Amino acid sequence: MKMTFRWYGADYDPIPLQYIKQIPGTSGIMGAMDWIPAGEVWSEDEIAPYIKQVNEAGLECEVIESVNVHEDIKLGRPTRDRYIENYCASLENLAKHGIKVVIYNFMPVFDWLRTELYHENPDGSTCLYYDDAVLQGMTPQDIVAKTADESAGFMLPGWEPERLAQLDEFMDAYQGMSPDELRDNYRYFLEGIIPTCEKVGIRMAVHPDDPAWPLFGIPRICNSRDDLDKIVSMVDSPANALCVCSGSLGSNPANDVPAIYREFGERGRVAAAHVRNVRYLGEKHFQEAAHLSSDGSLDMHAIMKAIHDYCPDVYVRPDHGRMIWGETGRAGYPLYDRALGIAYLNGLWEAIDKQA
């Protein structure tokens, strides 16, 4: 298991690489270059200096998050072939610089979505928060405006300006699309990129829907055990793998998260894991909790034991954190609470490993 930390690049992340290096038991980062618009080729001119900077800080960068899939691929438009070609070129460039896993998602339009970015807790910390009852009273344009207003100027995954500029057009284009139609477009994408992945030695790791259900009446196809089974069956290759995110799948209590790690770990299809806790507050109503099991609703020991026993060679990261100790920054991506999360997850791992 390699413990990692998401980093947005020197120009976009207030957290210096040196601070990440100072977190005990952290091997490297899961990189992100959210300034590259979906559909464009990730050039070596962008990739090389980024990796060099990370390595000079004494950290590895073997995983990249969010080589975002252009909406035309998800919509199955004729332009998808050009964007798939570009995606393959990006994979070839990333592999030249040591990338082994690419985490991505196939969520229409939005990446993760919350109704509050800095929800105040009684102890004075803040967290990401979701209440479907609030969302029901909002349009997509409302939630985009609210998120932009609350985001303290930080760009959030999936909320890139060029994607949101086409929000109305995309929302219209998805109306009436069935989950199986979206799956057909997904299969076409995977069939287009997996041969390149096998050639260059990259594993794709699809990230689940967050939250784990459709939004605004447009389909989502990656939010249950059965969805994941359909996805890994689309193209039978170890390169067609998963990023099992405990907090995303865990937002729906019907998902048995440890069982999902066990099943797909045993099948050799877990390449990465985001391990965080959530606290259920009711039907489609949750907040993000500290990583400690007792602070939320998930059994973090069972999750880490499932990873240890069934997919021990994955890249792990603590995913999100609360804002504590007065920290300000990109909602969901603080230094302190993600560092506390790493310390806790590494502690669980050591105990599980020594008891094995």
Which residues are designated catalytic? 207, 245, 274, 319-320, 333
Is the CB of 68 or the CB of 93 nearer to Mn ion? 68
Of 335, 227, 319, the C-alpha closest to 273 is 319
Question: CB under 8 Å, gap of 24 or more: what pairs does 47-50 form?
Answer: 47/93, 47/94, 47/96, 47/97, 47/99, 48/97, 50/9
Closest approach of Mn ion to the CB of residue 17, in Å: 21
Closest approach of ligand CS2 to the CB of residue 83, in Å: 15
From the list Mn ion, ligand CS2, none, pick the one residue 13 interacts with, judged by a Cβ distance below 5 to 8 Å according to partner type.
Answer: none
Contact between 245 and Mn ion by CB under 5 A: the answer reads: yes
From the list ligand CS2, Mn ion, none, pick the one residue 51 interacts with, judged by a Cβ distance below 5 to 8 Å according to partner type.
Answer: none
Question: Interface with ligand CS2 by CB under 6 A: which residues?
Answer: 6, 65-66, 103-105, 111-112, 157, 207, 245, 274, 319-320
The H or E element that residue 46 is part of is: helix 44-56
Candidate ranges 3-11, 20-28, 219-227, 241-249; the one touching Mn ion (CB under 5 A): 241-249
Site size toward Mn ion (CB under 5 A) is 3
Contact between 274 and Mn ion by CB under 5 A: the answer reads: yes
From the list ligand CS2, Mn ion, none, pick the one residue 130 interacts with, judged by a Cβ distance below 5 to 8 Å according to partner type.
Answer: none
Contact between 257 and Mn ion by CB under 5 A: the answer reads: no
Is the CB of 220 or the CB of 266 nearer to ligand CS2? 220
Contact between 160 and Mn ion by CB under 5 A: the answer reads: no
Closest approach of ligand CS2 to the CB of residue 112, in Å: 5
The H or E element that residue 4 is part of is: strand 2-7
List, edge to edge, every strand of the sheet that includes 285-288: 116-120, 126-131, 285-288, 278-282
Closest approach of ligand CS2 to the CB of residue 350, in Å: 25
Closest approach of Mn ion to the CB of residue 152, in Å: 20
Separation in Å, CA 352 to CA 308, 312, 317: 8, 11, 18
From the list ligand CS2, Mn ion, none, pick the one residue 66 interacts with, judged by a Cβ distance below 5 to 8 Å according to partner type.
Answer: ligand CS2
Q: What is the dihedral of CA 231, 222, 274, 283, to 10 degrees?
A: -150
Q: Is 101 helix (H, G, I), strand (E, B) or coil?
A: strand
With beta carbons less than 8 A apart as the criterion, state whether 264 and 244 touch.
yes
Residues 291-330 binding Mn ion (CB under 5 A) are: 319
Quick one: tokens of 316?
């792990």
Is the CB of 109 or the CB of 245 nearer to ligand CS2? 245
CA 138 to chain centre: 25
From the list Mn ion, ligand CS2, none, pick the one residue 65 interacts with, judged by a Cβ distance below 5 to 8 Å according to partner type.
Answer: ligand CS2
CA distance 212 to 223: 5
Is the CB of 205 or the CB of 340 nearer to ligand CS2? 205
From the list Mn ion, ligand CS2, none, pick the one residue 118 interacts with, judged by a Cβ distance below 5 to 8 Å according to partner type.
Answer: none
CA distance 241 to 228: 9
From the list Mn ion, ligand CS2, none, pick the one residue 72 interacts with, judged by a Cβ distance below 5 to 8 Å according to partner type.
Answer: none
Is the CB of 183 or the CB of 274 nearer to Mn ion? 274
Closest approach of ligand CS2 to the CB of residue 251, in Å: 11
Q: What is the dihedral of CA 30, 260, 314, 41, to 10 degrees?
A: -40
**Dihedrals φ, ψ of 184, to 5°?**
-60, -40
Separation in Å, CA 146 to CA 24, 141, 149, 168: 36, 9, 5, 16
Q: Count Cβ atoms within 10 A of the Cβ of residue 106 and give its class: 0-12 exposed, 13-18 middle, 19 or more buried.
A: buried
Closest approach of Mn ion to the CB of residue 176, in Å: 29
Q: Which residues bind Mn ion (CB under 5 A)?
A: 245, 274, 319
